[in-house]
Amino acid sequence: MHQKLYIAYFAAAVLSGCATHRMGNVIPAENNLYQVISIEKTEEAALASALYSAETTCKQRQLRHIVLSHKTEYKGIVSAEAGETIEKVLEIILSESGKKAPDVSGDNDYRTTMQFKCESK
């Protein structure tokens, strides 16, 4: 069941339009266990980066990756909902002047921590 869920997450991350992924910070542990921390602008990008990092780490060892667990957290200055509201209000206010509303979200608003292992194909 968990494997199907991770496959669905991976498919969603791949289809989210992220053509290139950045490697997260991969921390090795014992017995081919690893943890990766990825920090990105969106939840989907953070998850995609973590999955890419896990896959790349294991492929370098000619193994396949197995996700054991993961957690994505929002770390922005304001809540995600407040940020969306602020951006919409600014867009409405500034639309009269023809100016574009600034983006209140940052490039490091979401953090995904993922535990994975590498095993034989």
- Domain segments of the chain: what residues? 2-74+106-119
Tell which residue, 39, 42, 40, 45, has the closest CA to residue 80: 42
Model confidence at 77, in pLDDT bands (50, 70, 90)? confident
Report how far residue 101's alpha carbon sits from residue 121's, in angstroms, rounded to the nearest whole number. Answer: 49
Report how far residue 57's alpha carbon sits from residue 81's, in angstroms, rounded to the nearest whole number. Answer: 34
pLDDT at 85: 80
Model confidence at 14, in pLDDT bands (50, 70, 90)? very low
Cβ-based neighbours of 13, under 8 Å, separated by 6 or more: 44, 47, 48, 51
Q: What is the pLDDT averaged over residues 4-29?
A: 64
**Strand pairing of 25-28 and 64-74?**
unpaired
pLDDT digits 0-9 by tens, 17-75: 445 788 999 999 998 899 999 999 889 999 999 999 999 999 999 999 999 999 999 88
What is the C-alpha end-to-end distance of the chain, expressed in Å? 19
The most confident of the ranges 5-9, 30-34, 35-39, 79-83 is 35-39
pTM of the predicted structure, to 2 decimals: 0.69
Model confidence at 82, in pLDDT bands (50, 70, 90)? confident
Higher pLDDT, 11 or 114: 114
